[in-house]
Structure 1
Amino acid sequence: MNEDSLLRLQTAIRDVPDFPQAGVLFKDITPVLADADLLKLAVDAMVEASAEWGTVDKVVGIDARGFIFGAMLAARLGCGFIPARKRGKLPWKTRGVDYALEYGTASLEMHEDALLPGERVVLADDLLATGGTAGAALELVQAMGATLLGSVFFIELAFLSGREKITRFGPVKSVLAF
């Protein structure tokens, strides 16, 4: 991805101060999603970032914006898409993991038959922040016996050091870093 395209994506992201709580500067990706050219650039960049990993059997996307990028990435890579959802949102038998948040805990689940041992998997999400949610999804991928090729994020908030928490699972790539 050339620098001009990356700059177009970066400048389209809207900063929203004090959302969802005071002191947080939220990176709003909806302007990128609303613009067909920018959305294509974002997905192209994620495809490019994951190209070196070779053949992919499944892309796992994290609830909820990871569904957008993950499903589009899977379609472009010609593979299946697997949603990693909040507890109680999937209709079939699930396998889950609890993980810590800044103020409490949360759970992430996938259908127990979503990934087969040895399947080649990429994790995709819109944002890598502290690494808690991504780490939980990666634990699930690992527990199901799939082969994790790597993780790709549209945005990384590098100052929160989330990458450091998830590199033990495999390579981590991001399109934009703030």
Structure 2
Amino acid sequence: MSRKTVRDYIRTIPDFPHEGILFRDVTTLFADARGMRLCVDQLLDPYAGQRIDAVAGLEARGFILGGAIAHQLGTGFVPIRKKGKLPGPTFAQDYALEYGQATVEVHRDALPAGARVLLVDDLLATGGTARAGIALLERLGCEVMGCAFVIDLPDLGGRKALEAMGMELHTLCSFEGA
């Protein structure tokens, strides 16, 4: 019997949220104890031995992963949230969506300048949300040590966009197409 990979735990749902889209659902990965542990361990692997002061997670599934990774590292967790969800003074960053724009925010006092941060999310598509998160962390004066994602959709260009910014990327699996 062969061992399951992270990809094996991810369910594909056709035509969600729109016709022609193959939605990569990580809730099946998160619901399985072995799958979740495998995922967190593999996301952490390239950063073993590096000093990481905090983990930043992108709303919303990045919160699930980021909290688990921060726990394993013994560091704090910083949420990067959709506009209007954080109670204190924030920095905001707009980014492009397929149709329109969105904004993410981080508390202005979330981390001290010079903190070394790992940015985490479940999926890398166009990279817009991740680029906005990186911009926010850099406005705080942080050093983004890397970006870790469960899934890469390489056809959508996010990896190339983040690498062009000089970011180190770590992904666990990829799916062709949108």
TM-score, normalization by structure 1: 0.93
Q: Which runs of 4 or more aligned residues in structure 1 lie more than 3 Å from their structure 2 counterparts after TM superposition? A: none
Q: Partners of 1:33 and 1:104 in 2: how far apart?
A: 30
How many pairs does the alignment contain?
173
Q: What percent identity do the matched residue pairs reach?
A: 45
Q: Which of 37, 43, 47 lines up with 1:46 in the alignment?
A: 43
Matched, 1:78 2:103: no
Q: Partners of 1:47 and 1:173 in 2: how far apart?
A: 9
Shift of 1:51: 2.3
Q: Deviations over 1:111-139 (max 9, x none)?
A: 00012110001100011111000110011
Shift of 1:21: 1.1
Q: Partners of 1:12 and 1:58 in 2: how far apart?
A: 27
Q: Deviations over 1:83-102 (max 9, x none)?
A: 00000001111111011111
SS in 2 for 1:164: helix
Matched, 1:24 2:34: no
Q: Which residue of 1 aligns with 2:53?
A: 57
Structure 1, unaligned runs of 5 or more: none
Task: Report if the CA contact (8 A) 2:6-2:172 is conserved.
Answer: no
Structure 2, unaligned runs of 5 or more: none
Change (3 A) 1:24 1:46: same
Indicate the structure with greater helix content.
Answer: 1
Q: Partners of 1:138 and 1:50 in 2: how far apart?
A: 18
SS in 2 for 1:40: helix
Q: Which residue of 1 aligns with 2:150?
A: 154
Task: Report if the CA contact (8 A) 2:78-2:110 is conserved.
Answer: yes
Q: Partners of 1:111 and 1:21 in 2: how far apart?
A: 33
TM-score, normalization by structure 2: 0.93
- Give the aligned residue type for 2:19: A
Q: Partners of 2:6 and 2:169 in 1: how far apart?
A: 20
- Give the aligned residue type for 1:123: L
Shift of 1:14: 0.8
Q: Which residue of 2 aligns with 1:35?
A: 32
Task: Report if the CA contact (8 A) 1:49-1:174 is conserved.
Answer: no
Q: Partners of 1:173 and 1:86 in 2: how far apart?
A: 24
What is the RMSD of the two structures over their aligned residues, measured on CA atoms?
A: 1.2
SS in 1 for 2:41: helix
Task: Report if the CA contact (8 A) 2:56-2:118 is conserved.
Answer: yes
